[in-house]
Chain A
């Protein structure tokens, strides 16, 4: 097993990429630590699957290198990269039994029959498939089939990295959480690098130690779920993660201080370079906005009940500011004031967070 690195990787599905939009993946530098649980998170079409296919070797990057440890594997075919992949739709070999499915990648690599048998037993035990080894794989339910695809990856002793491409898409909702916790448990037991691709933030946050957020072919942030929540590097991350997403409010910056409607707003960071001619925004999550006696004047427009929380929509001029309050907290009617928690209020320039601390 080894660390996986992508160096300056760019990829285009066109033969002659001319403009920015031709690139499915724009200049990605990424490092996956050995044994880590990663999630690739982003909306459909952001380049997640492209990135995955570059790692697995199903695609060859237009530019850049892919390394496993010290070895450059950019030119190696898929079957020599020692990766395993679980696809969106469960792939099983219909004509084979569950046992033969799990044994297939081992037999293809010439493993001795005894070793195959013990290895398959081991994996079946890990996935709770022991009772079904003799059954034909075609007869299984979707989650059973998905476990088999997973098992074919786990069975191989030589796997560098296990990649999961939206593996829960076709699983029934009531079985999703079971398979999801199984995945987490598996990661802890087998200590394999796992990369989980999804557009579902809950899946990403519950599975991964580190989440890679992608947007329009670029990596916008790599961080722990807490990082992404507390300090989104880009307004896109703030928007995409969280429910509801971060409030992003155009603001003026004057002498290093952000002003919203003329009123100074304390922030956790401050501009690190000239902001002349750049769009500046304030970002604060609804969780860190409170009603206050003094602060930004707003008009409460709507309160919606979200179970244990209530989402308040307030208007400051044309600007919508959302607040997330606990159930039962009192909400003033009509005119009110709100305040932001300075530790979690960030200043963004052209969408990117200003790096200097306040």
Chain B
């Protein structure tokens, strides 16, 4: 058996992607892991601390509160945007000029940058001169997002629903468009009510795109930063301080690198875990066809 020497030079072809992944993901993540287990007092001096920061973050009520706010925000967002997006998709015309017009109209909010959305709503909702804020106060609703947590939350949620429901609607619309006419015809012949058509034809056929919609909206809303930052800066009090705002306060405001790094990693793992849970729940195991 004479093994011919194998030409190993082909490995060079893998180098670009290795470099990309290294600089893009592995090195930054490892830097964070590195910070999360050390203490620093400046002057680039670091001391190993083990899991101290993790334990501190996990036991801090400040983290718990931010996490609760974060879960509540994401929960409300999903509960509103998913059904609303599906409803809009169902109501959109299937073909013709109106279908195109609707698609363009629905895409508009998606093209607006986060901070612009925040600034727009900030001005719109100003209680004294903003169109929305002024109107609400004049019809007798006490509304002031810089003073009342409820107003701030309502504004944040309205903003996110306004910005992102389109995404869900467009995805659901794509799912609906892929259903062959024969299904609707068969359902008609079988005497199915509109609800039965939705429940047994449209919803099952939309399941894959809805899984994607839920995952995207979950991840995005769980990492929301810009809008509450622009609108309230996390206030009034701490009432809109969600995880990412809290994280930035710790990391850049207080410059506590260790706890911030530990918190980042915990934050990352929570997103990973919840995404996995969503994915498993929405994709039945025996799916093969």
Contact = CB atoms under 8 A, between A and B. Distances in A.
Interface of A: 56, 58, 77-79, 83-85, 87-89, 91, 93-96, 104-105, 108-109, 136, 138-139, 149, 152-153
Contact of B189 (A78, A88, A95, A96): A78
A7 B152 CA distance: 67
A138 B182 CA distance: 16
B189 A108 contact: no
Given A93-B200, A136-B286, A139-B289, A85 B193 contact: no
B32 interface: no
9 closest residue pairs by CB, A with B: A105-B190, A108-B191, A91-B186, A87-B182, A79-B191, A78-B188, A93-B200, A95-B204, A138-B289
Interface in B56-92: none
A87 B185 CA distance: 9
Interface residues of B, number: 19
Interface string B158-198: 00000000000000000000001011011011111100100
Contact of A85 (B185, B191, B204, B286): B185
B201 interface: yes
Given A95-B200, A95-B204, A96-B200, A56 B193 contact: no
B210 to A, nearest CB: 14
B113 interface: no
B96 interface: no
A153 B201 CA distance: 18
Contacts of B183: 91
B140 interface: no
B190 A104 contact: yes
Contact of B196 (A56, A91, A108): A108
Contacts of A108: 190-193, 196
Q: Specify which of A77, A87, A88, A109 lies most central, judged by the most chain B CB atoms within 10 Å of its CB.
A: A87
Nearest to A56: B189
B253 interface: no
Contacts of A152: 186, 190
Q: Is the contact region of chain A dominated by helix, strand, or loop, or is it mixed?
A: mixed
Q: Specify which of A85, A91, A104, A139 lies most central, judged by the most chain B CB atoms within 10 Å of its CB.
A: A91
B47 to A, nearest CB: 58
Given A104-B192, A138-B289, A139-B286, A85 B186 contact: yes
A87 B204 CA distance: 20
Contact of B186 (A87, A96, A109): A87
Contacts of A95: 200, 204
Contacts of A149: 186
Contacts of B196: 104, 108
Interface string B6-43: 00000000000000000000000000000000000000
Contacts of B289: 94, 138-139
Given A56-B185, A78-B188, A139-B288, 20 more contacts: A56-B189, A58-B185, A58-B188, A77-B188, A83-B189, A89-B180, A91-B182, A91-B183, A93-B200, A93-B204, A94-B205, A105-B190, A108-B192, A108-B196, A109-B191, A138-B289, A139-B286, A152-B186, A152-B190, A153-B189
Q: Specify which of A56, A83, A104 lies most central, judged by the most chain B CB atoms within 10 Å of its CB.
A: A104
Contacts of B205: 94
